[in-house]
Amino acid sequence: MYKNILVPVSFEEEDGVEKVLKAASRLACEDARVTLLHVMPPVPKYARSYFPEGYQDEAKATLAKSLNDMARDLPNVSADIVYGNPGKVILLWVKDKDVDCVVMSSHKPGPHEFNLGSTAAQVVRHVTCAVHVAR
């Protein structure tokens, strides 16, 4: 059983989120802390002018509401949204927050990703704690 579980949430496959949350709750010890984390990739500077002003804040607020709705019925669960490269942010989060388990889903891969999505593959290869990948 794990005490500090990180659950990266991508919103790409909504049915995957439910599977991952169930897996995390089964792996958590009684007083475990679970963090739902969504990483918003940065928008390239050249593309920002095509979006309406304040779109990032609005998107972040909408995603935060979704994460908080997911966390509402689960004990000791918090949610956070940060900007950056998802794989790198997850690896840094694990190190900085002393996470002992990552529970994440893997999206349906493209031809270049084989069995795991690119973020899941990066985390599995480089993370320093246990990883559970739900398919």
pLDDT interval class at 117 (50, 70, 90): low
The CB-side HSE value for 96 (13 A sphere, CA atoms) comes to 6
Nearest residue to 34 via CA among 77, 74, 80: 77
| Structural domains present in the chain | 2-134 (3.40.50.620)
Axis crossing angle, helix 86-96 with helix 118-126, rounded to the nearest 10: 30
pLDDT digits (tens, 9 = 90+) for 30-64: 999 999 999 998 888 888 889 898 988 999 999 99
Q: Which helix (H) or strand (E) holds 64?
A: helix 55-71
Does residue 68 surpass a pLDDT of 70?
A: yes
Full-model pTM:
0.88
Average pLDDT, the chain: 89
Under the phi-then-psi rule, with left for phi > 0, alpha for psi from -120 to 50, and beta for the rest, what region is 78? beta
pLDDT digits (tens, 9 = 90+) for 13-25: 666 788 899 999 9
